[in-house]
Chains A and B, each alone.
Chain A
Amino acid sequence: MSKLEKGPNAQESVPSGGARGEEHILPAAPNEEVLDPQTERSPLWKYVNVRLGLEKTGLKPLVLEAMNAPHPRFMNPLDYMGDILLFLFVNQVVTGLLLMTHYNGSALGSPFPAYVSTLAMTHTWWTAFVRDLHFWGANAMVIALAVHMARVFYVGAYKPPREFQWLSGLILLACTIGLALSGYLLPWDQQSYWATQVATAMVKYIPFVGHDLLFFLRGCRYTCASTLTLFFAIHVVLLPLILVLTIGLHVLLVIIHGQVDVEARLPEEYKKKHRFGQVSDFPKGFVPFWPNIVANIALYSAGMALVLVLIAANKAAPLTAQANYVNVPPAVAAYYRPLPVWYFLNFYQILKIAHGSLEDHLLVLGLPLIIVVALVLLPFLDRNPSHRAKDRPIALTVGALFSIGVLYYTYAGWKSEQPAPVITKAILHPSYQKNLLPIFNTQCTPCHTGAASSDLANFQINTYAGIMKGGTLGPAINVKDPAQSHIILLLEGKDPAAPGLTMPLGGTPLNQAQIQTIENWIKDGAPNN
């Protein structure tokens, strides 16, 4: 007992700078009971205490503080995000270990073992379910992480003395993104192959060493079998290891400093009296971490688990065709249009803005650099000591603008990938480029691609020249009598030259507004506008 108190007492002689957080270790009254007597009496505690040397090493207060820290009985659910993340991580570890027993991480041989073994998982209910849990768990982690970060930012939990919590959190963020990215490649399908190709290609923008670094990361010029081997190692060994160690540090710091909004709600009186690791009288309306808050965490985790199970049981993780290194239509049957995973749609959309080298470098290299530097420096740049929203107009405005930007570009990126806009009202003077091409490109090109092999009716609808030329039925367009154009008659299913044929063949017919729009365009003389 006395041994324990010597620690804090010894520091008493050193005048404390009055910094935040140090108030916890003010001297204890010499005879005051430091331990929770109930805890101390438990045989388990006695056993663990001796084995781990908690008393000998002075770690006892840490454990006691962790167990007994007072929390408001009702906390903002958002303050449980960190705990939910921890649960999600455990879900990833458990399901990930299971997946490893079915996965063959090789891209040598044809078909690729990595792809075939992943595909095989989709064939039985339980293997598919575990894979879906892992997939949706990863997506949930990205969302929970974003919410957790936003909450931490909003309550100013990165401010002194919690800078290291913020920084270790950034490491966790980087690891999570790295895990998402490396895990994405493992199925070795089209989607994963091309997403990885594009994501890793950004490395070449790093000045001087970029090209060599990219080669090192991939093991080849373009994503190849070596890339899969390396990414598998990164996904199952390197990043989980860093993640586990950093989670330990992150949680330890939370125990030491407590949560910001808990601290804000604790009465001043209590804070003055309380010493780290000591059980003081609980303020009214407060409950200890163990067992009350732990019970809440268990409840939230169970809720999260239920959501995951429901999603995983109903929605399968996507799996496209196996990776194809060439992937150019029409040479490749299963052409896949490369698209990023949803949480990178924002960056994907932003990249389209650039014209040429300079702007491109600014976006690919400059933008992420600014964001990373800003995140790392945030606790040191924001010197405003207040945690209250009212006192932090600048920080919160910047944060809000950033969030709006991310959301907007995510939406814009998503929207740019949607099928042809449904026209519900005929456009009087439509534009070929803006109004018609989107329809042709989504509804007609599967067959009339302009590629010799799949160019049905010898009709190329995806180019202006092709549509003007027409197909085997002759000109598709009749400017003199627009309603009698083959293209209109075929879409309506009443072309006397092809009885019973309605385009798109085997697809959903176009609606009247869409057909009318095409007809209006022909009435205008079918301009290339």
Chain B
Amino acid sequence: MPETGRRSFVLGVLGAVGTLIALGYAFVAERFMLPPPESASTLQKVGTSQDFQPGDVKLVVYTGDGGFPDGVYMVRVPGSSALAAYDEHCAHLQCPVQWVAGTQTFDCPCHGSVYSIQGTNIAGPAPHPLNYHTVVEQNGEVYVGGIVPWGTPQWQALAVKWGTTGAWVPGAVPGTIRFSSKA
């Protein structure tokens, strides 16, 4: 009995220590792989307040801390003086969306998703509105910051601030449209 008892005790300790070490690594790996808080990325000047007039939709290029340029649509949201910034990547499979002045929509060339000027998905497979970027307007200068992904509290806060939530009017855009988003 003492022989087997000791053996199972040693095995038990080994198992426990092994599990602990494995869990430790798993925890470190999990933390390590967490994406950095991108909305905290460095601000970059993209123009002056004059450059963005009401109703304007302009593409600027924001280069994040990773050194990779990202297209950002600067939008003076109609009916609100707020300056919004939408990430150019489609909420579906991340093709670059294009501003089409004729229909006042952002159209995706890949699978035909369409977004309103509010950034809301109004047609096609896109599962949610466009992602945002942080914007700072100070002393007549406009700065853009890192990405604010849809579905985060920060995104919700920006949508409220910019007046870009739920502003979509059924029938404003031709074609079959089904509205589907949490925003």
Residues of A within 8 A of B (CB): 194, 197-198, 201-202, 211-212, 215-216, 220-222, 224-225, 325-329, 331, 337-338, 348, 351-361, 363-364, 450, 460, 462-466
Contacts and interface: CB of A to CB of B under 8 A. Distances in A.
Nearest to B94: A201
Contacts of A338: 95-96, 109-110
Contact of A222 (B92, B94, B127): B94
Interface of B: 33-35, 38, 59, 61, 66, 68-71, 88-89, 92-103, 109-112, 121, 123-128, 147, 176, 178-181
Main DSSP-derived SS at the B contact region = loop
Given A197-B94, A327-B96, A352 B33 contact: no
A328 B59 contact: yes
A363 B125 contact: yes
15 contacts: A194-B95, A197-B94, A220-B68, A325-B68, A328-B97, A338-B110, A351-B111, A353-B125, A355-B125, A356-B121, A356-B127, A356-B181, A357-B128, A360-B127, A463-B103
A264 B98 CA distance: 59
B68 to A, nearest CB: 5
Nearest to A331: B59
B61 A464 contact: no
Contacts of B123: 355
A463 B104 CA distance: 11
Nearest to A465: B102
B59 A202 contact: no
A224 B66 contact: yes
A221 B35 contact: yes
A328 B127 contact: no
B93 A197 contact: yes
A326 B38 contact: no
Contacts of A355: 123-125, 176, 178, 180
A357 B147 contact: no
B71 A326 contact: yes
Given A360-B126, A363-B125, 19 more contacts: A198-B95, A212-B33, A225-B68, A326-B59, A326-B71, A327-B96, A328-B71, A328-B96, A331-B59, A338-B96, A338-B110, A351-B125, A354-B111, A356-B121, A356-B126, A357-B127, A358-B180, A360-B127, A364-B93
A198 B90 CA distance: 10
Contacts of A224: 66, 68
B22 to A, nearest CB: 18
Contacts of B180: 355-358
Contacts of B66: 220, 224
A466 B68 CA distance: 35
Nearest to B181: A357
A463 B174 CA distance: 13
B179 A356 contact: yes
A87 B163 CA distance: 61
A325 B70 contact: yes
A450 B96 contact: no
Nearest to B108: A338
Nearest to A357: B127
Contacts of A351: 92-93, 111, 125
Nearest to A330: B59
Given A212-B33, A358-B180, A222 B95 contact: no
Nearest to B98: A328
A360 B92 contact: yes
Contacts of B59: 326, 328, 331
Contacts of B181: 356-357
B52 to A, nearest CB: 15
A466 B103 CA distance: 11
Nearest to A213: B33
Contact of B101 (A215, A221, A463): A463
B164 to A, nearest CB: 18
Contacts of B128: 357
> Of A216, A225, A338, A348, which is in contact with the most chain B CB atoms at under 10 Å from its CB?
A338
Given A329-B98, A357-B128, A212 B68 contact: no
Contacts of B112: 352
Given A352-B112, A355-B180, A216 B70 contact: no
Contacts of A360: 92, 125-127
A212 B102 contact: no
Given A222-B89, A328-B71, A331-B71, A450 B95 contact: no
A463 B102 contact: yes
Nearest to B131: A221
A466 to B, nearest CB: 6
Contacts of A215: 33, 35
Nearest to A340: B110
A219 B33 CA distance: 9
A477 to B, nearest CB: 16
B114 to A, nearest CB: 11
A70 B99 CA distance: 66
Contacts of B96: 326-328, 338
A198 B93 contact: yes
Nearest to B182: A357
Contact of B109 (A212, A337, A354): A337
A222 B70 contact: yes
A97 B111 CA distance: 37
A229 B34 CA distance: 20
A463 B121 CA distance: 21
B125 A356 contact: yes
A303 to B, nearest CB: 39
Contacts of A466: 102
